[in-house]
């Protein structure tokens, strides 16, 4: 019996011995598991706490010389301030001007020298063509060929008689529109530059907004339709400042008379500028006349003497040339 019991006791001691050897290992595993569980719980709670806390951004001081202006993507650019009216010249015309609205501007700086109801919205007739020319000159080169659309000959008077399908170089249409003031020329240029009349008129109004002309709205490229086609003497002076920056525009509006070759059966045309200040007033160099029954006589005039450049606008004046002369005379005398 003793020999049988002895091996059994030995096996039990081995098992106890092995268990004692494994105990530290098992304890380490248990501790590691507990530590991992605690760490995971701590990280989750830290993440929740971090999400709950407001984000704090620490800005480092940047030297002024290296600081860059913030760029706001998608923000509309601030329109250029084309006219400034803070330091007008005190003057009372006697007898008074006959215009319903008028303004005199230093073309170099945009300073308003004198004004009469400058923000009163009025019909402006063919002075609308200043905007038409500004946009069409950006799209059309002088020798681009314009194919006259079939709708062009149907435009109301005044028109020079363009024929549907006629092929005309753009520069001829610009002279016809700005000197003779052809409504068909304005529509032909608008369709060539904008694709169709409606698209071009939308571009005209978009440009007016871009330039900050808050009291201006167009319904046609010619101004022949009065309803909802309006502007102010202030806005027209601002628009003219922009248009006169284009050398092609300046070249056309200062021209008194131009002879143009034409296709058969016309062969030739002569355009005479409707602006009677050209050649009769010293320094006169533009820009556009206008008239409808509702607008009355309108004139946007410009003149330059030495380093002084002036823009005068008179709207609905029974004697627009006399009003413009008096404004320009006053401006040159005051700034000399």
Residues assigned a catalytic role? 126, 129, 181
DSSP H helical ranges for the chain: 2-52, 129-139, 170-175, 183-194, 197-210, 233-243, 247-253, 320-335
Distance of CA 319 to the CA centre of its chain: 34
DSSP 163-187: -TT-EEEHHHHHHIIIII--HHHHH
d(CA 240, CA 136): 15
CA dihedral in degrees (36, 41, 46, 47; nearest 10)? Answer: 100
Give bridge partners of residue 287 from the DSSP assignment.
301
Largest CA distance in the chain: 150
CB 105 within 8 A of CB 311: yes
């Amino acid at each position: 019996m003793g020999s049988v019991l002895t091996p059994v006791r030995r096996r039990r001691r081995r098992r106890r011995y092995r268990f004692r050897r494994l105990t530290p290992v098992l304890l380490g595993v248990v501790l590691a598991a507990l530590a991992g569980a605690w760490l995971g719980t701590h990280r989750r709670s830290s993440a929740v706490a971090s999400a709950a806390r407001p984000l704090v951004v620490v800005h480092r001081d940047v030297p002024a010389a290296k600081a860059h202006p913030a760029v706001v993507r998608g923000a509309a650019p601030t329109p250029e301030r084309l006219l400034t009216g803070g330091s007008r010249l005190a003057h009372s015309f006697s007898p008074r001007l006959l215009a319903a609205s008028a303004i005199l501007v230093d073309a170099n700086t945009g300073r308003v020298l004198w004004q009469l109801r400058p923000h009163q919205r009025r019909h402006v007739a063919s002075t609308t063509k200043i905007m038409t020319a500004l946009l069409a000159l950006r799209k059309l080169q002088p020798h681009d060929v314009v194919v006259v659309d079939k709708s062009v000959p149907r435009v109301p008077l005044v028109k020079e008689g363009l024929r549907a399908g006629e092929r005309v170089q753009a520069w001829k249409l610009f002279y016809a529109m700005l000197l003779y003031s052809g409504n068909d020329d304005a529509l032909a240029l608008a369709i060539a530059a904008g694709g169709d009349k409606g698209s071009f008129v939308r571009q005209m109004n978009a440009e007016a907004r871009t330039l900050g002309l808050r009291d201006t709205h167009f319904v046609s490229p010619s101004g022949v339709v009065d309803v909802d086609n309006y502007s102010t003497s202030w806005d027209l002076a601002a628009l003219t400042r922009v248009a006169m920056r284009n050398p092609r525009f300046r070249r056309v509006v200062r021209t008194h008379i131009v002879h143009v070759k034409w296709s058969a059966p016309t062969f030739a045309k002569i355009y005479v500028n409707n602006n009677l200040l050209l050649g009769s007033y010293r320094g006169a160099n533009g820009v556009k006349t206008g008239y409808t029954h509702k607008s009355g006589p309108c004139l946007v005039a410009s003149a330059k003497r030495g380093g002084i450049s002036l823009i005068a606008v008179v709207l609905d004046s029974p004697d627009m040339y006399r009003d413009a002369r008096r404004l320009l005379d006053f401006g040159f005398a005051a700034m000399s």
